[in-house]
Structure 1
């Protein structure tokens, strides 16, 4: 909207098409922003039929200033620093443009000096996935504008890709990794897809409506991270030693209840999940510091995982 305002203010009578090309968005987005400026910001923004472009019918209009608190400004600066990990990638240009637009809306006395944060904080992501920026743009557009897509998709357990027609409902970032929740016409069900396993993405030319009863929070309810299950299982774990304090310091799941001894040497964690696979892998990462109290099925998964790892690394059999 800042670009629309500045361009119209310059008296060049820009069209929606020109504005869309300037900031690399769709004309539909420009028209939506124009409507917002008129209806919500009181902008005297009109279309001049003879000049075939937008103009202000009343001189002196200014976009309302944005009030930014100290805490909000610090949050924005931290976000900027976090995104520095994408320097040198295909995302860098888009991110710079996005933050330039945000900064243009801030009051004149406010500026962001990201370089000053370089020596005070840093962010790292474990094993990030290689990503295709253009494909992500297509996916975001398909989700936001309800465009049906067709892709070649390779499931994790299969070596060959299969053709899928998808209605993408939602995109979610979980622990730094993106996922697409979409209705799959091949499976006749809503499924979760990994963008990096997609290829040959193209739009079908058809649109779709997201069902009124679809909610991301409801769809993912019960997942420990991203794996879902049909039922709900109560999990109880016991952590002992120095790692007990580490576990008690963090929020691992929305349902967790943690009880810690006064000296911090032991903590019990209770949570409810729909799938035990991710919980088992998480428990295994703590080695002998974690004991599964319930359910028995989780204890068996953990024992099987430890035994497989022991054998793969030259050990003998173990008993659970």
Structure 2
């Protein structure tokens, strides 16, 4: 889902090229106007796409007698063969990525998906539809990103262009302009964020995509750092926040140890089964989100280390209890 949405423009062009190639191969009468109608674009766009295909060594010309574009020679065989596991993965991608995603471009991605899968052989289409029928659509993003400025930010990141954004800092309810160098769009736990160098803070920061209200070009270029890695940048993060690296030790009660053991934790960790329960040792980036995660497990997990995390949990539990005291 996310990948399709983030490359919406490229996917639309790929779809157009696919439609043009199929039309040429069909042998039917085909004109630039008909291609533009089929692809939902203007004539200039179709002509540019045809020029691109010619540069890619697809040989065709305009036959004035037939008033049609004609292939000079047949295209190489493009038979698609997929195994059962690939079909299932394809259907799961559709269910998870094109469902109630809340992502920008979801409707266009669905249309492009339908056009691309229509090119599959009939037997594969029927099998794919059958598999899709037993897969529920995913809930997708945790926020509505359909009005997010995704295309502008992704384009700026792709072309290394500094942009000025109008950003709403929710924690302070403050709206301000700032220049940023967009590195990438980062999907994290159902949220979309922009990883970018902030010229105001002079550091790499994460910006909530739905809190970016405007995007303005600056005409400036930036050189992305060679050693930047989102995975390294988010190392130890439980969710979307970062902080000081801190070692933690948790003890899960035997009653829930099996569920804690199955969980794929986002930070580096090790597990040890003991008579008292499942011992988890790890290193996290900041304590706020691991505190929230521990609250999710309730009284069936005990924080052994560090004292600061124990104190933060005690303070939160006391505040919750105070709300329910008679």
TM exceeding 0.5: yes
Shift of 1:128: 2.1
Within 5 Å, which residues of 2 pair with 1:154-303? 154-229=168-243, 231-260=244-273, 266-303=277-314
| Per-residue CA distance 1:249-277 (angstroms, 9 max, x = gap) | 22112522222358xx8211122112111
| Cα distance in 2, alignment partners of residues 22 and 204 from structure 1 | 31
Instruction: Say whether the 8 Å CA contact 2:157–2:184 is kept in structure 1.
Output: yes
**Aligned residue for 1:135?**
149
| Per-residue CA distance 1:9-68 (angstroms, 9 max, x = gap) | 5775759xx69x7479xx7xx77x948983xxxx435899xxxxxx78741014633432
Instruction: Say whether the 8 Å CA contact 2:101–2:140 is kept in structure 1.
Output: no
Instruction: Say whether the 8 Å CA contact 1:239–1:291 is kept in structure 2.
Output: yes
Larger relative helix fraction: 2
**Aligned residue for 1:96?**
110
Gaps of 5+ in 2: 1-16, 63-68
Aligned residues: 300
**Aligned residue for 1:52?**
none
**Aligned residue for 2:6?**
none
| Cα distance in 1, alignment partners of residues 279 and 217 from structure 2 | 49
| Per-residue CA distance 1:272-296 (angstroms, 9 max, x = gap) | 1121111111111222111011112
Within 5 Å, which residues of 2 pair with 1:68-147? 68-83=82-97, 85-86=99-100, 91-104=105-118, 106-111=120-125, 116=130, 120-123=134-137, 125=139, 128-133=142-147, 135-147=149-161
1:6 paired to 2:22: yes
| Cα distance in 1, alignment partners of residues 320 and 217 from structure 2 | 44
| Cα distance in 2, alignment partners of residues 258 and 210 from structure 1 | 38
| TM-score in terms of structure 1 length | 0.77
When the two chains are superposed, the root-mean-square deviation of aligned CA atoms in Å is 3.9
| TM-score in terms of structure 2 length | 0.76
